[in-house]
Amino acid sequence: MKKDDTIERHTISVLVDNEAGVLARVIGLFSGRGYNIESLTVAEVDQGEHTSRITIVTTGTPMVIEQIKA
């Protein structure tokens, strides 16, 4: 395994509109590409602005993590 192929755990936090279907779309981006989700947390952060934070823990090579961020 090359150094660039090291699998690491990463935590990604995303602020989203608190609307029906948003979580499904975010998770669909992961599952559609075959990326594994190790843990998932969703919480409303601003009731007035209808904003939620989705925190996802995933594992992958640095290349995979960069693809997720894009």
Contacting residues for 17 by C-beta, under 8 A, at least 6 apart:
50, 51, 52
Tens of pLDDT, residues 20-52: 999 999 999 888 888 889 999 999 998 899 999
User: Domain span at residue 12?
Assistant: 3-69
Task: Report the percent of the chain where pLDDT is more than 70.
Answer: 94
Contact 51, 45 (CB under 8 A): yes
Contacting residues for 62 by C-beta, under 8 A, at least 6 apart:
4, 6, 8
Which pLDDT score, from 0 to 100, does residue 67 have? 82
Tens of pLDDT, residues 3-12: 567 888 999 9
Dihedral Cα 31, 23, 16, 55, nearest 10 deg: -70
Which pLDDT score, from 0 to 100, does residue 23 have? 95
Q: What's the structural domain count of the chain?
A: 1
Which pLDDT score, from 0 to 100, does residue 27 have? 92
Q: pTM of this prediction?
A: 0.80
Place of tokens 């594994």: 36
- CATH classification at residue 23: 3.30.70.260
